[in-house]
Each structure stands twice: as C-alpha cells, then as structure tokens.
C-alpha cells in the first residue's frame, strides 16, 4: 500500500481506499476501483481526488492494487 498524494501513482482501474468529505472526522475509508481522476495538479497534500466506479468521490489514502 502506498500513499495517494501523487497523481502519477494513480491510474483508472486501480483499487484504492478513499476518504469521503463527510467521513474526514471519523477517518472511515471506502474501498473501490478508480473510474476518474478529478484532481488536475500533480500532487495534493490531502490526497488525489477520484471518483470510484460506484460514484463515490473521495481523496485517495491507500493504493491497494494496480
């Protein structure tokens, strides 16, 4: 597992764990497959924002499988 703060390390189809905006206080992570990468910049201090195939949007905390 690696951090999701670098856009180059994330691609569509990767299995990741994201944190949703409303779960930031609890730290609850959601696992899924990346459908779209929403962050345009190369890096982001809180994690790259992605949309999962389920439609959930969140910031990548861990990359499970590429």
Q: In the prediction, which pLDDT does 2 show?
A: 56
7-65 is classed in which CATH architecture? Roll (2.30)
- Cβ 16 vs Cβ 62: under 8 Å: yes
Tell whether the model's pLDDT for residue 1 goes beyond 50.
no
Write down the domain spans for the chain: 7-65
Q: In the prediction, which pLDDT does 65 show?
A: 80
Tell whether the model's pLDDT for residue 66 goes beyond 90.
no
pLDDT for 20-59, tens place per residue?
Answer: 999 999 999 999 999 999 999 999 999 999 999 999 999 9
Q: In the prediction, which pLDDT does 9 show?
A: 94
* CA pair distance 45, 39, nearest whole angstrom: 12
């Amino acid at each position: 597992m690696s951090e999701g703060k670098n856009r180059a390390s994330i691609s569509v189809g990767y299995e990741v764990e994201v944190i949703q905006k409303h779960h930031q206080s609890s730290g609850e992570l959601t696992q899924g497959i990346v459908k779209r990468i929403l962050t345009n910049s190369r890096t982001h201090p809180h994690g790259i924002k992605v949309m999962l195939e389920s439609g959930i949007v969140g910031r990548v905390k861990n990359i499970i499988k590429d």
